[in-house]
Structure 1
């Protein structure tokens, strides 16, 4: 096959999506397929960056829109003029690239769908993340584009449902392929984990710790994590510390939550850890707290499980879909709920999991590792290739 990957422009400074595109593309090259990457070049954006107006964020954004939605479509149409090979497939690496779908809607194509959180927010369905009027228009513009696609690959069943419910995409048009782990996480011995964390500047407690890993976005429920810990710590004279691999707290709700942590509790924030230190943090944790309000996939859940670490996450898709029977669950924290009542209930589960030593039970450790082992990049790549080939084969 000849695979043309539509990618986010480099000036967007996104890391995950370009990495995702390259991961698939390079794997397909190794399997003998021809691969090209198409993305806007950022001509207008570059011109603006060389002027005194470069510091104006709004102008930079509009310059990027010109590159993406005026100049790039012209470039794509010119590239499509020559007759392309019969076995060519156009692959959109993110449904957010929807405005470009109509350019190749009459050719074999597929869209990788990650999550529809931005669209759901724009539709007013997520109270915690209100969207501006222009943001609402932009998300509708994206949806109008990707609706014209005939085939999708979703990272979870939740994404498939959201595509149908909010995107207007027929459910049968989407096939689920779970993401594979980016790193070969596995349990690390207690002493090795302690040494690794101390080398990373983290004063590791030999008893272990409670752990949260997240980017601090609204859906990570950082304040909820800390409220859970505060209620747990209040019940013990010498509670386990909470390690937050997350940006330093800035929002009022997180600051308010920190103020409820009792004196005997300990909450520390750390950023920029390498993979080995993250593996050590999972391996030493007595419990991984991940009470997200929403997720696209939920990588940390299976990362923790791959290290044998117990997981307490949200009983809502895709978290319960990814965590499976190897995780424990909390109710989804909704805006109408009393956060302290929710946290007190969660603290009871935390106590139970720590007291029953689920982190050290060999059978449970084995269950968690076996569950996480199904999420491999090799399995994902094989599924992508199969779907790509089926689309090309069915094209007249």
Structure 2
């Protein structure tokens, strides 16, 4: 979120607007603490006890034509302080809140976590102006706040990086320390963390099944957060002809190079708010296999290969069918694969960052004008 906030500030400044950030500073959470758990509660004290006082002392100093932009709906507990001033709330995903409401039994939430999410929901529900990253997120938002906001726009994320096709030699140079002889014909790739909805165990199971039906399978690169113990154990079940590689800590330049060298990007998420890696892979000229559910199919449009969502109790048939999709894609003639890649490159142009900032600016202008006009504020959706 700090990176997203910086992107908005830079974009607005480049268009001649003044922009600054207001956030809860670390005060008591800077004090030494014996455990991470204690530090978490110290951060809560900064956020809930100290920061509201800072808001109260500063709010009236801002000119009346100031727009307050909440860069994440998770900042919702502070929205009530600003609800009578021009404001816009960016909504990325509502998965933590939906988990706290029991919508995802596979991801139970602690009692304190439920209280925290309740505070967030109660806070942002007082807001009136929202920008969601996908139609799916907007639908969830309207359901969870139980009202129609005055403003509720969908603006797709812009690609936040130099994602583009590279010369293979340049990609290999960037990844020289990681490439092995077995990678010379390309590899399958996934990127993400260990969050439940990223479905990393499902990726491993897909790969295991693919190795069972393929004599000479491509390696699998798992990029992102270091694997947990469960994922390491799953990787050990892969047949001997397979090769699962965990590559945490790659630089942005190396990630772009990996997208370029991958033959197929696997992204069978159970849920997402948007699904940024789908657009990133396509922008690098890489085919994508993802889940045929919103918002993944909203981002992939007609350019992705789709597989049904993995359901509890049906993991085996899901993995077997998905493995066949992988094998069938890789067996296609080069011309057919290139046709899909070209479709992905065209689709990725929808996520132009300049266009995204321009759409933000237009919504911001509309909201400000609605507060400073004599006519009643009307809904925009």
Using structure 1 for the length normalisation, give the TM-score. Answer: 0.89
> Which of the numbers 272, 283, 287 marks the counterpart of 1:310?
287
Instruction: Indicate conservation of the 8 Å contact 1:220/1:293, yes or no.
Output: yes
Q: CA deviation at 1:166?
A: 2.4
Equivalent in the alignment of 1:56: 35
Cα shift at 1:357: 4.1
Deviation, 1:215, is: 1.7
Paired position in structure 2 for 1:30: 14
Q: How far did 1:219 drift?
A: 1.2
Spell out the pairing of 1:110-129 with structure 2 (5 A cutoff).
110-129=88-107
Q: How far, CA to CA, are the matches of 2:85 and 2:334 in structure 1?
A: 52
Given that 1:160 and 1:171 are in contact with CA atoms closer than 8 Å, whether structure 2 keeps it comes out as no
The answer to whether the aligner puts 1:386 opposite 2:355 as a matched pair is no
- CA shift digits 1:227-282 (9 cap, x unpaired): 10111111122111111113343232x24432331111111111111222222211
- Alpha-carbon distance in 1 for matches of 2:250, 2:297: 26
Report the secondary structure of 2:189's partner residue: strand
Q: Structure 2 matches for 1:121-270, cutoff 5 A?
A: 121-170=99-148, 173-197=151-175, 199-203=176-180, 205-252=183-230, 254-270=231-247
Residue number among 309, 314, 317 corresponding to 1:341 in the alignment: 317
Change (3 A) 1:226 1:325: same
Contact conserved, 2:138 with 2:152, CA < 8 A, in 1? yes
Partner of 1:39: 23
Query: Aligned pair in 2 of structure 1 residues 81, 283: CA closer, same or farther (>3 Å)?
Result: closer
Answer whether contact 2:128 2:149 (CA < 8 A) is retained: no
Match status 1:21 vs 2:5 = yes
1:57/1:356 CA distance change after superposition, 3 Å: same
1:92 aligns with 2:70: yes
Deviations 1:81-106 (A, max 9, x none): 34x42321111111011111110111
- Structure 1 residues 303 and 61, CA, compared in 2 at 3 Å: closer, same or farther? same
Which of 310, 329, 335 is the matching residue for 2:306? 329
- Select the residue among 268, 281, 288 that pairs with 1:291: 268
Give the deviation of 1:61 after TM superposition.
1.9
Contact 1:286 1:359 in 2 (8 A): no
Does residue 69 in structure 1 map to residue 48 in structure 2?
Answer: yes
Aligned to 1:362: 338
Measure how far apart 1:201 and its partner are: 2.2
Q: Relative to 1, partners in 2 of residues 1:358 and 1:278: Cα closer, same or farther, differing over 3 Å?
A: farther
* Whole-Å separation in 2 of the counterparts to 1:245 and 1:356: 26
For structure 2, list consecutive stretches of 5 or more residues without a partner in the other structure: 373-381
TM-score using structure 2 length: 0.93
Cα offset, 1:37, TM superposition: 1.0
Question: How far, CA to CA, are the matches of 2:335 and 2:178 in structure 1?
Answer: 24
Unaligned runs of 5+ in 1: 1-16
Aligned to 1:6: none
Q: How far apart, in 1, do the equivalents of 2:232 and 2:316 lie?
A: 15
SS in 2 for 1:32: coil
Give the whole-Å Cα distance in 2 for the aligned partners of 1:240 and 1:65. 46
- CA shift digits 1:144-166 (9 cap, x unpaired): 00000000000111110111122
* CA deviations over 1:23-64 (Å, ceiling 9, x no partner): 101211121111121111222222x33xxxx12333322221
In the alignment, which residue of structure 2 is the partner of 1:10? none
